């Protein structure tokens, strides 16, 4: 597909475009089609992991598992994920994005099938381990493909849309899967998400493609997709440590870990809290699984586009993406800490919705913030490293929550253990939001990384 070229437009603080001789023309129709396809991919990725939370109660009863044992199986889904992501980072920028994503989704879908045919605790553990490894590179791949269709100042909305895949999975598809589980068996839920993955793979094979802002392609590929000479930024790389030691990367790691801990706890234990803590039936608990995500969707779709508009008007990303983003995450943590102050059903639900929505709003800006300081040729690998390290730090979330729940049950506190779990996640969110606000500065760090890149290029030339 040939793309047209327009005069360059420099993006302040973004090394991707500051020295680019010419810029590709934005193609909104195709960009939206690809973004929506990637939204479907995030939805499937979410359901592949969330299915464990939807079947928690019947699976524990059927397989004879304690809460800590089931939490350990859920944690297993993240155990190999950081290792796989770090290994993937070494080759990420050399692999074809479209085909790699297709392969990952196909593997996810195949991994759901053994549980349907021969469920056991051991098989559940093994498939979760492999699924975590196969899922590890997906987030960075999806964002890299999406960013290849959008310029820096317009990436907040696509990032928000990709994040809402999890929310739509809870709101739209989780209730359907819960009904299937209730009507047939908990194993049938795994078959359902497998079929969804296979359908997406067929569609992606025909529709998927990388966009004109993908500067991380080789010169030969750039010639194939663009008129004129290959983009001069192709192959530009900075020393990896010059990126990983920036305040922006460290702040990103802190806030993504904090948000990740809350997300994995919700994935594993929220339906159980609705049953044991708030007294809902199993079907109703599964149907309400997506309720906290309503606020997540609201904040993501407010924050992403409004942030993009502010950036296009010249407001620094340090303010739009970092200070406001960190404050929203900390406010979400405070909402979760307030859970013991309310009673009944409406109060806890409202605080959970608010807390979860505020914390996960960071997904609209965290990846674009990190991408802003990274040369385009290293975008996929650096995003993968960031997601891998944050995943490594958040891997203990479901297991730790299970330990807290077992301790509460043993002491006779029962459902109060869920409040302890969400308060723990709230405290971590406050710390993560504060560190992000204090440390991240994409304008400053983009200049540092660019200087390190230029110095490396000069040394290589000499």
Distance CA 55, CA 189 (A): 8
Crossing angle for the helix pair 67-79 and 81-89, to the nearest 10 degrees: 0
Per the confidence metrics, is the pTM higher than 0.85? no
User: H or E stretch including 254?
Assistant: helix 247-272
CA-based nearest residue to 457, from 249, 219, 232:
232
Quick one: pLDDT at residue 9?
A: 39
Residue 408 vs residue 415, higher pLDDT: 408
Q: Per-residue pLDDT for 445 more than 80?
A: yes
Q: Per-residue pLDDT for 184 more than 80?
A: yes
Quick one: pLDDT at residue 438?
A: 96
Q: Per-residue pLDDT for 3 more than 70?
A: no
Give the pLDDT band (50/70/90) at residue 414: low
CA-based nearest residue to 217, from 378, 2, 43, 382:
378
The tokens describing 58, both together, are 């019947």
* DSSP-derived 3-state class of residue 24: strand
The tokens describing 38, both together, are 């990637």
Give whole-number Cα distances, 286 to 54, 247, 263, in Å.
6, 40, 16
Give the pLDDT band (50/70/90) at residue 2: very low
Residue 176 vs residue 7, higher pLDDT: 176
Using a pLDDT cut of 70, give the percent of the chain over it: 84
The radius of gyration computed from the CA coordinates of the chain, to the nearest angstrom, equals 22
The tokens describing 150, both together, are 């959008």
Give whole-number Cα distances, 393 to 116, 156, 253, 258, in Å.
31, 25, 9, 9
pLDDT in tens, 267-303: 777 877 888 778 887 777 766 766 777 787 788 778 8
Residue 57 vs residue 336, higher pLDDT: 336
Distance CA 255, CA 325 (A): 9
Average the pLDDT over 182-196 and give the result: 87
Quick one: pLDDT at residue 167?
A: 67
Give the pLDDT band (50/70/90) at residue 225: very low
User: H or E stretch including 23?
Assistant: strand 23-24
- Alpha-helical segments (H) within 137-185: 138-147, 156-168, 174-183
Q: Per-residue pLDDT for 197 more than 70?
A: yes
Average the pLDDT over 104-127 and give the result: 85
Q: Per-residue pLDDT for 322 more than 80?
A: yes
**E strand intervals along 136-176:** none
**Residue where the block lists tokens 């793309």:** 3
Distance CA 221, CA 225 (A): 7
Distance CA 423, CA 401 (A): 11
pLDDT in tens, 19-65: 444 556 667 788 888 888 998 888 888 787 778 777 877 888 888 87
Strand partners, 84: none
């Amino acid at each position: 597909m040939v793309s047209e070229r327009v005069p360059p437009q420099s993006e302040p603080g973004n090394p991707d475009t500051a020295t680019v001789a010419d810029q590709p023309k934005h193609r909104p129709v195709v960009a939206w089609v690809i973004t929506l396809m990637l939204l479907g991919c995030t939805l499937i990725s979410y359901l592949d992991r969330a299915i464990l939370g939807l079947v928690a109660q019947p699976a524990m009863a059927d397989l004879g598992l304690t809460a800590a044992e089931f939490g350990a199986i859920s944690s297993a889904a993240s155990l190999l994920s950081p290792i796989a992501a770090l290994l993937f980072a070494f080759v990420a920028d050399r692999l074809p994005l479209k085909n790699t994503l297709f392969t990952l989704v196909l593997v996810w879908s195949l991994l759901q099938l053994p549980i349907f045919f021969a469920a056991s605790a051991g098989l559940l553990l093994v498939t979760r381990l492999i699924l975590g490894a196969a899922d590890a590179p997906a987030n960075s791949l999806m964002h890299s493909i999406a960013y290849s269709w959008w310029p820096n100042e317009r990436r907040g909305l696509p990032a928000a849309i990709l994040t809402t895949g999890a929310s739509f999975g809870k709101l739209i598809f989780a209730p359907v899967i819960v009904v299937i589980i209730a009507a047939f068996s908990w194993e049938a839920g795994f078959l359902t998400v497998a079929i969804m993955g296979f359908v997406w793979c067929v569609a992606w094979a025909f529709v998927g493609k990388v966009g004109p802002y993908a500067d991380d392609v080789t010169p030969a590929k750039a010639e194939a997709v663009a008129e004129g000479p290959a983009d001069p930024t192709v192959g530009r790389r900075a020393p990896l440590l010059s990126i990983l030691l920036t305040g922006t990367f460290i702040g990103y790691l802190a806030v993504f870990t904090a948000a990740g801990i809350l997300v994995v706890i919700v994935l594993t234990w929220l339906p159980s809290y609705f049953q044991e803590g708030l007294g809902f039936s199993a079907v109703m608990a599964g149907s309400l699984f997506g309720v906290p995500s309503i606020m997540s969707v609201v904040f993501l779709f407010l924050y992403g586009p409004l942030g993009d508009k502010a950036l296009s008007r010249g407001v620094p990303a340090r303010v739009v993406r970092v200070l406001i983003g960190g404050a929203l995450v900390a406010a979400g943590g405070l909402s979760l800490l307030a859970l013991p102050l309310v009673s009944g059903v409406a109060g806890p639900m409202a605080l959970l919705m608010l807390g979860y929505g505020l914390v996960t709003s960071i997904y609209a800006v965290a990846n674009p913030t990190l991408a802003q300081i990274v040369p385009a040729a290293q975008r996929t690998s650096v995003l993968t490293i960031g997601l891998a390290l944050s995943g490594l730090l958040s891997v203990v979330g479901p297991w730790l929550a299970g330990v807290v729940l077992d301790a509460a049950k043993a002491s006779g506190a029962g459902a109060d253990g869920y409040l302890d779990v969400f308060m723990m996640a709230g405290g971590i969110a406050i710390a993560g939001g504060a560190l992000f606000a204090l440390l991240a500065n994409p304008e400053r760090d983009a200049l540092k990384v660019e200087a390190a890149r230029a110095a490396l290029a000069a040394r290589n030339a000499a």
